[in-house]
């Protein structure tokens, strides 16, 4: 079997593990209980929901930032739509949750996010679901029920169900899925690692690793 075929097989297995693991990665939630709805929504019977103004602050469908200031006057707001930012690393423009698309220079927020975050420097949030593409750094501080992280340097997540692709290294405290990078690190979970050096807990191995 060629190296190329082996790599493709590992990728497919990682994706299969991710799918089999399911979207619920919160260990404190009983099996079969759905994850909580995003802030600002209430159930309306069945699977339907209706959006309401978030108790954490007002909601805007569009946010545009100039450095750390939200335009027009959206500092401290939740974004349910699109944010275009020129924030520098370390500046959040005061936005809380973002559900939709966030793109620009630096995608740092104080709350949760879902959708697509694509920023030149980094993406940082609490819980996340969707795709993060950062030039240097992606960070999920909480849970990621289903996520793809891609960066040239470093991906980090506490609990991630999905795939981390980092140019240099990937770190996850709890992983279900696949890590691809020069160095991969996971504490517990289930999945595969492909890299120059792979670690799971106290165990390490070159080229291919297993998360268990």
Q: Are strands 69-71 and 98-104 parallel, antiparallel or unpaired?
A: unpaired
Residue 42 located in a structural domain: no
Q: Are residues 106 and 138 in the same domain?
A: no
Q: Which of 120-129, 168-177, 201-210 has the weakest average pLDDT?
A: 201-210
Q: Are residues 134 and 202 in the same domain?
A: yes
Q: Are residues 107 and 80 in the same domain?
A: yes
- Rounded CA-CA distance 82/95 in Å is 12
Confidence class for position 6, pLDDT limits 50, 70, 90: low
Task: Using the predicted structure, report yes or no on whether residue 34 has a pLDDT greater than 60.
Answer: no
What's the chain look like in SS3?
A: CCHHHHHHHHHHHHHHHHHHHCCCCCCCCCCCCCCCCCCCEEECCCCCEEECCCCCCCEEEEEEEECCEEECCCCCCEEEEEEEECCCCCCCCCCCCEEEEEEECCEECCCCEEEEEEECCEEEECCEEEEEEECCEEEEEEEEEEEEEEECCEEEEEEEEEEEEECCEEEEEEEEEEEECCEEEEEEEEEEEEEEEEEECCEEEEEEEEEC
Residue 156 located in a structural domain: yes
Strand partners, 70: 65
Structural domain for 168, as ranges: 130-212
Q: Are residues 138 and 212 in the same domain?
A: yes
Q: Are residues 137 and 86 in the same domain?
A: no
Q: Which of 126, 153, 186 is the last residue of a domain?
A: 126
What residues have CB less than 8 Å from 103, skipping those under 6 apart? 83, 84, 85, 116, 117, 118, 119
Residue 27 located in a structural domain: no
Q: Which of 101, 126, 151 is the last residue of a domain?
A: 126
Residue 197 located in a structural domain: yes
Select the more confidently predicted residue: 62 or 67.
Answer: 62
Q: Are residues 140 and 206 in the same domain?
A: yes
Residue 171 located in a structural domain: yes
Q: Are residues 84 and 143 in the same domain?
A: no
Q: Which of 37-46, 87-96, 151-160 has the weakest average pLDDT?
A: 37-46
Residue 14 located in a structural domain: no
Q: Which of 126, 158, 182 is the last residue of a domain?
A: 126
Mean pLDDT of 119-142: 96
Q: Is the pTM of this model over 0.85?
A: no
Q: Are residues 122 and 140 in the same domain?
A: no
Q: How many domains does the chain have?
A: 2
Q: Are residues 150 and 119 in the same domain?
A: no
Mean pLDDT of 57-82: 83
Exposed/middle/buried for residue 48 (C-beta within 10 Å: 0-12, 13-18, 19+) = exposed
Residue 205 located in a structural domain: yes
Q: Are residues 151 and 122 in the same domain?
A: no
Confidence class for position 15, pLDDT limits 50, 70, 90: low
Q: Are residues 121 and 142 in the same domain?
A: no
Residue 23 located in a structural domain: no
Q: Are residues 117 and 160 in the same domain?
A: no
Select the more confidently predicted residue: 93 or 122.
Answer: 122
């Amino acid at each position: 079997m060629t190296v190329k075929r082996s790599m493709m097989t590992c990728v497919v297995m990682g994706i299969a593990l991710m799918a089999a693991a399911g979207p619920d990665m919160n260990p404190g939630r009983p099996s079969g209980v759905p994850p909580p709805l995003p802030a600002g929504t209430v159930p309306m019977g069945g699977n339907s929901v209706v959006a309401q103004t978030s108790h954490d602050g007002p909601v805007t469908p569009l946010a545009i930032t100039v450095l750390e200031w939200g335009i027009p006057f959206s500092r401290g707001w939740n974004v349910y739509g699109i944010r275009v930012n020129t924030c520098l690393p370390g500046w959040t423009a005061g936005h809380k949750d973002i559900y939709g698309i966030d793109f620009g220079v630096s995608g740092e927020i104080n709350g949760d996010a879902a959708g697509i975050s694509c920023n030149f420097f980094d993406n940082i949030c609490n819980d996340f679901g969707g795709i993060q593409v950062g030039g240097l750094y992606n960070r999920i501080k909480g849970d990621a029920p289903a996520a793809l992280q891609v960066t040239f340097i470093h991906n980090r997540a506490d609990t991630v169900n999905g795939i981390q692709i980092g140019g240099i290294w990937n770190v996850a405290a709890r992983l279900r899925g696949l890590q691809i990078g020069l160095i991969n690190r996971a504490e517990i979970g289930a999945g595969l690692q492909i890299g120059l050096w792979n670690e799971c807990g106290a165990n390490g191995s070159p080229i291919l690793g297993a998360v268990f």
